[in-house]
Structure 1
Amino acid sequence: MSFTLYADEQMTREAVSPYQLDFNGTGKNEFRLYFGSPYSYETLKPKSDEQIMLIPASRLKKWQPESGYSFGNIVEPTVANGCMYQVTGNGRTSINEPAWSTELNSQCSSGGVIFVNIGAKFQPEDIRLSLTQSGLDKATPGAFLALGGQLQGGKAIPVFIRITNNDNTPRSDRSDPCIIIRLNATTTETIAHSGKL
C-alpha cells in the first residue's frame, strides 16, 4: 500500500508499517513522521468510518503454552497483571503458565523458556499524536489522529508523535516492540494515469 507513514517529507523512505514505537528508556521522546502516498493518482478513503485515522495500539502478545520463543520476545500473562516479560533465550514453553511475579527483574519459567520481568507494560495511552508540534500538549493520550474523510496522494501530512515512559524504571521494547501506530480500515482508489511511476 502506498499510503503509509514515511520518514521523510518527500515520501521516499517508508517507516515500517505498522510503525513500531521504540520507548527505550525514561522520559519523553518526540519526533515527526509523514503520512501519505507519493502518487497523486491515488485516493485513500475509509471503508466504514467517517475519518481516516492513525491509531496507537498494543501489539503485546499473551503467553502461549507449548510454543516456541526466541531471545528478546516480550509477552504478558494470559491474565494481565500490568507487567511485561522478556525471553532470555530460545526455547519452548510447557503446558503450564509461569508463576508470574510483579517484582522488577524477577525470573520465572515454563518448559525451556525463562522470562524476566522488565517492568510495567507499555500502553497506547503512552502515545500522543498531533498534526502540529504545539498540538501535542493538548492531544488526548492514546487517542486516534483523524486525517480527514478522503486523502489525495502526492502530499505528505506531518504527524507529530510524543512517547512518554511514565514508569520510573528505564524500560525497553526494542527487541520486540509492544506498541504500534496502525491505520484504520481503508481502501485506495487509483485513477488512470500516464507517465513513469
Structure 2
Amino acid sequence: MSIEAVVFDIGNVLIEWQPERHFDAVIGREARERLFAEVDLHDMNDRIDRGHDFRAMVYETAGAYPDWSDEIRLWHDSWLKLAGPEIPHSVRLLRALRSGGTPVFALSNFGIGTFALAEPQWPFLGEFDRRYISGHMGLAKPDADIFAAMEADCGIAPGALLFTDDRTDNIATAAARGWQTHHFDGPEGWARRLVAEGLLTEAAAR
C-alpha cells in the first residue's frame, strides 16, 4: 500500500530527550545514578505525558522524597535544559516531506505543560499537518488506544501510514495494527528509508 502520511515521534527523533545528561552536569553522575535508582522519575514523567499537571506532579514527587527534593524539582524548573537540542537533519526531513506534498503528523508522548514550553523553543513543532500529543489526548504510547484514536481522527488506513519512533515497544504496537514502521536510530537511516519509499529524492533527504 502506498504511503499517504508520515508520522514522527518527537523525543529522540526530532528533539533529543536525555534528561540524565543534564542531571550529570548539575549534580554529577554518581549522585544522578543514586537519584534515578531511588526515585522513578521516568514513571513520574509518564504520568505527566498522560495528562497529569506538570508542576503538581513534579512537586508532589519532590515532597515524597525530601532527601532529593531540590534535585527532583529541576525536572520542572529546568525542563528546557533537560530536553533538546533539536536533531537538525530530522527537522530538515520533516520540512522536505511537507514541501513535497506529503502530509506529516506528530504522534508523541508529551505532557500538556511540557509541550507548551517546547513549542516556542522549537518552532518546527507547529509545522505538522496534524499533531497527536498524549497529554492532550489522555492516552499514551505504547498503548494501542492512542494509535486507534489517531487512525479514527485522520481517516487514513493503517497500512498507508509510515511511522518512525526510537522505542521498539511503540514500533511493535504500530506494526501490530498494520502500520508501516521504521525504528529510528539516527536521521541518516530514516533519510534512506524515505528515499527508498519514493517520498524524497536523495538531494532532498540530505
Give the TM-score normalised by structure 2.
Answer: 0.23
Q: Which has the higher helix share?
A: 2
Give the TM-score normalised by structure 1.
Answer: 0.23
Q: Which has the higher strand share?
A: 1
Q: Which has the higher contact order (CA 8 A, sep 6+)?
A: 1
Q: Which has the larger radius of gyration?
A: 1
